[in-house]
Amino acid sequence: MKTTIKIVAEYAGVSRGTVDRVIHNRGNVDSEVQQKVKDALEKLDYRPNAIARALAFNKNTTKLGVLMPDNPGFFRDEMYRAIGNIQEECRDLGVEISVAECNALRPEQYAKAINKMLKGGVCGFAICAQNSQLLIEKIDALWEQGIPVITVNSDIPDSKRRCFIGEDAIRCGRAAAEIICKFLKDQEEILVIGGIPEFTGHQNRVKGFREYMQEKQIPPNQYKIVYTYEKYDLTYEQLERILTEQPNIRGIYLGVESMAAYKDVIVKLGMSSRPFVVCHDTADHTLHALQDDLVDFSIDQDIYAQGYRTLQMLVDHFLYEKPFEELKDKIVLHIVTSECVGP
C-alpha cells in the first residue's frame, strides 16, 4: 500500500498540514515536531508524487550527466542498458540523462565534458574515470557549487564525491587469488593481467590479489603482474610472450576485459593443457568460454546494477530529497561456473 500524507500524519501524531509543511520546507513547525515528522517519513518510506513536486518547484526538467570511458565492451553495454531503463521509468518525471564517452587516459576530456554539460543545465553527475588530480579538483569544485557527483564502478576516493557505487575491488582480487591458490600445486606460477592502473577499481583488484598472496606467504616470484590497459594487441602480445617464455605458469587471473586476446593466444599456442583461469563479468563471450572449458570461474560484479542504482540515487535525491548512501558493500560478488550458464 502506498504511503500517503495522511498515514504519515497519523503515525507521527500531527496534522496533515504539518506533514505537508515539513515536506515542502514551508517553515512554522517546531524543531521537535519537524524531526518527528522526518523520522516518520523515513520509517514509512514516503515517496511524494514526483510530477507534482517537480511542477511545484518549477523543475520541469532534471538533467543528469553520465561520463564513462569510450572503450567498447560489456561495461559500456551494461551501463547503456541501465541508462535506458532509468530514462524509460522517469520519462514522465522530467528527467533527462546526457552521456559523454571520454578517453580513459585523458582526464581533460572528462573535465571538458563536465563543463559542456554544466552549460546545458546538468545538476548531478555519475562518473567512471581514472583517479587523477584534475578530476579530484573538478569534483571538489562541483561540490562547492552544490552539484552532486557519484563515482560508479571505479572510485575517486580523495575527491568530494557524494558516494561510490561499485564492487569492492580489493575483495574481488582476494577472491580470485583464493580460488587460484586452491587449485594450483606448490611452485606453480601465476600470471595476473591488470587493466588501467590509473583506475582505482583496476588497481584495487591487483592490490587485493597481492594482499592475499602475501598473507599466505606465497613469494612474489611465483606471480607476475602486468597491466595491459584493456587493449587487445597489448594483452595478446604479453600473454603470448609470457606463456611461451614461462611454461610453468599454471594459473591466470584476467583482472579486466581481456577474454578475446586470451582465447586467441590459447588457440595459437595449441596448449594441450591450458592454465587454470579466473576472469570477470558475464559478457556473452565469457559465458561461452566457460561453456567451452576455456576458463574455470568468473567473478560477476553486476555492472548493470551499479549503473542503475547510481542513477536511481540521483533521481531520488532531486525528486524526493533522499540522502546519498554508500552501496559498495551491497554489491554482492557472484562466482560463476559453467554449471551456472544456461543450456
pLDDT, tens digit, 9 for 90 and up, residues 76-119 = 999 999 999 999 888 778 899 999 999 999 999 999 999 999 99
Q: Residue 86 is part of which domain span?
A: 62-165+303-328
Give me the CATH number covering residue 201.
3.40.50.2300
Q: Which three cell numbers stand for residue 70?
A: 569510450
pLDDT for 295 beyond 70: yes
Contact yes or no for 326/163 (Cβ under 8 A): yes
Average pLDDT of the chain, as a whole number: 89
Query: d(Cα 206, Cα 132) in Å, to the nearest integer?
Result: 19
Q: What is the mean pLDDT of residues 168-194?
A: 93
pLDDT for 172 beyond 90: yes
- Work out the pLDDT band at 37, boundaries 50, 70, 90: confident
Task: Give the pLDDT of residue 8.
Answer: 83
Q: What is the mean pLDDT of residues 176-205?
A: 94
119 and 101 together in one domain:
yes
pLDDT for 253 beyond 70: yes
Contact yes or no for 80/103 (Cβ under 8 A): no
The CA–CA distances, whole Å, from 251 to 177, 247, 270, 288 equal 10, 11, 17, 20
Query: pTM higher than 0.95 for the full model?
Result: no
Contact yes or no for 313/325 (Cβ under 8 A): yes
pLDDT more than 90, % of the chain: 68
226 and 317 together in one domain:
no
pLDDT for 210 beyond 60: yes
Three-state SS for the chain is CCCCHHHHHHHHCCCHHHHHHHHCCCCCCCHHHHHHHHHHHHHCCCCCCHHHHHHHCCCCCEEEEEEEECCCCHHHHHHHHHHHHHHHHCCCCCEEEEEEEECCCCHHHHHHHHHHHHHCCCCEEEECCCCCHHHHHHHHHHHHCCCCEEEECCCCCCCCCCEEECCCHHHHHHHHHHHHHHHCCCCCEEEEEECCCCCHHHHHHHHHHHHHHHHCCCCHHHEEEEECCCCHHHHHHHHHHHHHHCCCEEEEEECCCCHHHHHHHHHHHCCCCCCEEEEECCCHHHHHHHHCCCCCEEEECCHHHHHHHHHHHHHHHHHHCCCCCCCHHHCCCEEECHHHCCC
Note whether residue 233 is domain-resident: yes
Task: Give the pLDDT of residue 5.
Answer: 75
23 and 141 together in one domain:
no
Query: d(Cα 61, Cα 339) in Å, to the nearest integer?
Result: 46
- Work out the pLDDT band at 48, boundaries 50, 70, 90: low
Note whether residue 336 is domain-resident: no
Q: Burial of 19 by CB count in 10 Å (0-12 exposed, 13-18 middle, 19+ buried)? A: buried
Task: Give the pLDDT of residue 132.
Answer: 97
Note whether residue 264 is domain-resident: yes
Note whether residue 250 is domain-resident: yes
Task: Give the pLDDT of residue 158.
Answer: 96
295 and 174 together in one domain:
yes
317 and 286 together in one domain:
no
**Structural domain count of the chain:** 3
Note whether residue 339 is domain-resident: no
pLDDT for 164 beyond 50: yes
Q: What are phi and psi of 127, to 5 degrees?
A: -130, 130
212 and 315 together in one domain:
no
- Residue 293 region by backbone torsions, left for phi larger than 0, else alpha for psi between -120 and 50, else beta: left
139 and 197 together in one domain:
no
pLDDT by residue (tens digit) across 112-162?
999 999 999 999 999 999 999 999 999 999 999 999 999 999 999 999 999
Query: d(Cα 130, Cα 71) in Å, to the nearest integer?
Result: 13
186 and 210 together in one domain:
yes
117 and 158 together in one domain:
yes
Task: Give the pLDDT of residue 125.
Answer: 98
290 and 313 together in one domain:
no
Note whether residue 90 is domain-resident: yes
Q: What is the mean pLDDT of residues 204-208?
A: 97
Q: Which three cell numbers stand for residue 61?
A: 526538467
Q: What are phi and psi of 191, to 5 degrees?
A: -115, 130
Task: Give the pLDDT of residue 60.
Answer: 59
Note whether residue 105 is domain-resident: yes
pLDDT for 308 beyond 50: yes
136 and 182 together in one domain:
no
Task: Give the pLDDT of residue 255.
Answer: 95
Task: Give the pLDDT of residue 56.
Answer: 47
Q: Which three cell numbers stand for residue 233?
A: 594487441
Note whether residue 273 is domain-resident: yes
Q: What is the mean pLDDT of residues 291-312?
A: 94
Residues 6+ apart with CB under 8 A from 144: none
Task: Give the pLDDT of residue 9.
Answer: 83
Task: Give the pLDDT of residue 105.
Answer: 95
Query: d(Cα 63, Cα 33) in Å, to the nearest integer?
Result: 34
Task: Give the pLDDT of residue 43.
Answer: 82
Contact yes or no for 311/83 (Cβ under 8 A): yes
273 and 251 together in one domain:
yes
